[in-house]
Amino acid sequence: MTAETSFSQAPPPEATRRSRLTAQRIRSAWIFLTPMMLALALVAGWPLFRNIYFSFTDASLTNLGAAQWIGFDNYYSKITLPSGREITSGLLVDPEWWRAVGNTLRFAFLSVGFETVFGLIVALVLNAEFKGRALVRAAVLVPWAIPTIVSAKIWAWMLNDQFGVINDVFLKLGLISEKVAWTASPDTAMTAVLIVDIWKTTPFMALLILAGLQMVPKDIYEAAKIDGVHPVKQFFKITLPLIWPAVMVAVIFRLLDALRIFDLIYVLTPNNAQTRTMSVAVRENLFDFDNFAYGSAQATMLFFIIALITILYITLGRVRFDGGK
């Protein structure tokens, strides 16, 4: 009756007349929000709109101003040659694009999947009480703290085919019989990218899950212990359901991050069709291949693909963003 009925709770009913205090607060709120909303409109809203616009034009990098409206041609067009042959072109029938989409999805699901499992393991370890836990937690943070480009370079060096430490170790252990060009070979490039990404982002996952774990009341475990519940069963029946909301939130954040991956792939495995993701394809078309309009069409499609996946995830997974706190 004291805190529950505060003015920052349920919305006022239509009938309530706003007092001067409320009116003043609401007016101030909008004034306070204006700079942020303007900034976001300018830096996100307008460029997104222009991007979508460009995707319906023949804009070229060197002369954006001369862009002409060409409708859906960047997405799909069909030309009938005098010989009667039909030629289709555009994003929707572009195998390279769909390959990039496939690469992105494969990368995102594999990396987030592994990260979740590893993150869960690391979080469970960090949640146990043992000597030197603080040191271990500090160590776990290191990969997260290293800038992506730097970790890409360090791993590129470690995965180097001639002088890399990975090949050295694997040869000594007899895991491989000859040196492997991890980042350049089509068979292993995706694996290399996955290894680096999982290494780099597992700490983030672990920390978010750890926060969820620490909110589980200790007496639940004690009760389970007294009841003689097996630790493995205890994990699947008690711990996992309780931290599930936190895991779901962590997964969506990581998934969105993985779906837009650019920097790691650009640096670690440049010009490799096996790892070219949607973002890499967009940038190449925009600035390297002078297909500005086509790149914009790809970017538009990327935006909607990611939006679709997000909406599906949130509705199917019933994600509650306050559940992770």
Partner 1 sequence: MAVPKIIWRIGFWLLVAFIVFMSVFPFYYAIVTSFKKPSEIFQVSYWPTSFSLENYKSVLTSGDFLRNIWNSIVVAVSVVALAMLMGITAAYALARVRFRGRGALLLIILGVSMFPQVAVLSGLFELVSGVNNFGTRILGINLSNTHWALVFSYTIFTLPFTVWVLTTFMRDLPMEIEEAAIVDGATPWQIVSKVFLPLMWPALVTTGLLAFIAAWNEFLFALTFTSSASMRTVPVGIALLSGSTQYEVPWGNIMAASVIVTLPIILLVLAFQRKIVSGLTAGGVKG
Partner 2 sequence: MARIQLNGVRKSFGDVHVIKGVDLDIRAGEFMVFVGPSGCGKSTLLRLIAGLEDITSGEMRFNDQRVNDKTPSERGIAMVFQSYALYPHMSVYDNMAFGLRLAKGEEAETRKRVERAAEMLQIKQYLDRLPKQLSGGQRQRVAIGRAIVRDPQVFLFDEPLSNLDAALRVATRLEIAKLHHDMGKATMIYVTHDQVEAMTLADRICVLRDGLVEQVGTPLELYEKPASVFVAGFIGSPKMNFFSGAHASPLGAHTIGVRPEHLLAAPESAGTWSGQVAHREVMGSDTYLYIDVGGPELITLRETGISGRNPGDRIALTPMAPHYVHRFNEAGRPV
16 binds, among partner 1, partner 2, none (CB under 5 to 8 A by kind): partner 2
Alpha helices for the chain (secondary structure H): 20-40, 46-54, 95-127, 133-145, 148-158, 165-173, 189-214, 218-226, 231-234, 240-259, 263-268, 278-283, 292-317
Mark residues 33-52: x for contact with partner 1 by CB under 8 A, - for none.
x-xxx-xx-xxx-xxxxxx-
20 binds, among partner 1, partner 2, none (CB under 5 to 8 A by kind): partner 2
Segment contacting partner 2 by CB under 8 A, of 9-17, 67-75, 189-197, 314-322: 9-17
Q: Minimum distance between the CB of residue 95 and partner 1, rounded to whole angstroms?
A: 21
Q: Minimum distance between the CB of residue 322 and partner 2, rounded to whole angstroms?
A: 19
19 binds, among partner 2, partner 1, none (CB under 5 to 8 A by kind): partner 2
Residues 240 and 232 sit within 8 Å (Cβ to Cβ):
no
Q: Minimum distance between the CB of residue 10 and partner 2, rounded to whole angstroms?
A: 5
Q: What six digits make up the tokens of 83? A: 């010989």
**Rg (the chain; Cα; Å):** 26
138 binds, among partner 2, partner 1, none (CB under 5 to 8 A by kind): partner 1
Site for partner 1 in 146-185 (CB under 8 A): 146-155, 157-158, 160, 162-165, 168
- 10 forms part of the interface with partner 2 (CB under 8 A): yes
- 162 forms part of the interface with partner 2 (CB under 8 A): no
Q: List C-alpha distances in Å: 128 to 83, 124, 134, 204, 224.
A: 74, 6, 11, 18, 16
Site for partner 1 in 206-225 (CB under 8 A): 207-208, 210-211
d(CA 162, CA 179): 7
DSSP, res 90: S
